[in-house]
Structure 1
Amino acid sequence: MIISLHAGAQTMGGSWYGKADVVLDGTFNNYLTELVIKQKGNKVEGIFGYYFRNGYQSFYVKGTYDPQTRQVSIPDIPVVFYKANSIDGVTCNMSFEGTLRISKVGSFVRGAFSSDSKYKYTCPELRVLFSQDSLVQQDSVINNGMAKRLWQPSVEDVIVVDDSDGPDIKNAVTSAGLSRPNVASPTMDTKSLTNRFKSRQTIITNELKVASDSVRISFYDNGDIDGDSISVFLNGNPVIEKQVISAKALTVYVKLDPTKEFNDLSMFAENLGRIPPNTALMVVYDGETPQEVFLTSNLSQNGSVRIRRKPTPKK
């Protein structure tokens, strides 16, 4: 989903996929879940995402892994209520506990998502068997064949489109209930924001190569959730204005300018939160291998990434 990580024989690092089922009698919607994490000692961190009914959500998560018992624990994961009518319904705060199993046929993590005991009837246990994918596949296909990874923007996502965008993108905007007012418009406030962006030094920290002419970009606060607020610029123009970043993804879908040799995506710090500087994990999806970048910005510098299109293969 996010990054290609290869797991060693006894490690949790990697990409995991599984179907989480409600532990109740009856038939209910299940959750198609993804867990893409990296391990540092007995600590794990990464992205937990899931598909439910009509959409997808993802969160930055942290937890622990005991290599002796092969137990992984990830607390405080918001999961939409199993009877909700949409992905944007009421959520249950759940914790994941699982055990790594390794065999000749592959690596698996069997476990469950559970809520606090006083909510166990309202938010029942979700059991899941994660299978490891040694190579992250395209953003359009779940490797184990459970379902296609058809990303649909949720209400919180910001869609950047213009009149030249094709029907697929415009249909995605319509299906998510979004409208053009979500997109930055050239108001006096936007002009002031652009002037403040230009007054700071922009530091190119990474260069990414992508295959698609459009990319989906998600921002997470990868440190302590301390109220960091950002604006995002594409080629000097604001596409997200004054949004707080947290463990839940702040997502924008942008069409790259094909007339440019490269496109610059920059993060502008609106504040420094409680713990300076303003830091974020940025994940870029282009339909191939997702790429992650850690960006830092402060009140004098903008963190920026340069995006280039891969050459079109010759026939």
Structure 2
Amino acid sequence: MRPQSPLIPLLLLTLSGLCANAEDDPGGIWKGTLTQGPGGCYPNYFLELQITLAGDRITGKAYDYYDKTHYVKMSFTGRYNAQTHRMVLIEDRVLEANIPTDCQPCVKTYDLNYARNGTLEELNGDWKGVYSDKKLVCPPGKIRLRKAALSDFPVDVEQSDTLAGVQAALHLQPREKEVVKTLTVKSSSIKIDLYDNAEIDHDTVTVLVNNKVLLYRRMLTDRPLTVTFNAFANLPYEVVMYADNLGDIPPNTALMMITAGDQKFEVFLSSTETKSAAVRIVYRP
């Protein structure tokens, strides 16, 4: 037998290291604790981070809470270094605050390290910040989180400021929902294209994903109306086609093309003035 080259074990070790790194994924739902030094409202909080990772860029939502009725919801952006397993998150906006009147939201910067040991994934590190009026520095503290399968709070779908403003002023009439299809996908990146199902007859639709308006009063044609979003693992996403009108030929019908990685699905939808068609999607890695 020919003696094995000493380069082969080294190469295998290198490839093994690359494969291990490829399994690391700090995106998802993280839950744990946040401590705060003397002077804060409470010395200990619960913390949930909802992290979406695209390349090295991070977006997401943070909930720090004493209990589920007293919380602050923030949006954040950040970066992840896959080589050092370090991430920095910067909160940029207070979205909701339900806390005692003598407390004030703290807008935080997180400096966290990602670690994986078998199936256990952790984020640990420090935070600092300033109160939302930006006059005083918050007492800093420590963070300890583990990846979780389920969220304790609603998981948002990203929505533009324009559509958020539209939805805030919108009063859609409640309608019965018919779930036409439930799909399981293997990619977190979801793309939905909507076409008129038959003759173009001036149907217009509003499309909601988990109750967030992502398309508003758009006409169905032979060119796609496109919605994209990133899904968290094991959480249901409900895509609803709400008929703004019935067009020239009732009911309002559409062909929905769903792309998730190399998976493609076709679903035919029909909505009326009393019933909306829906598709449920669950991402399972």
Normalised TM-score (structure 2): 0.48
Bigger relative contact order, structure 1 or 2 (CA pairs below 8 A, ≥6 apart):
1
Normalised TM-score (structure 1): 0.44
Instruction: Give the structure with higher Rg (CA).
Output: 2
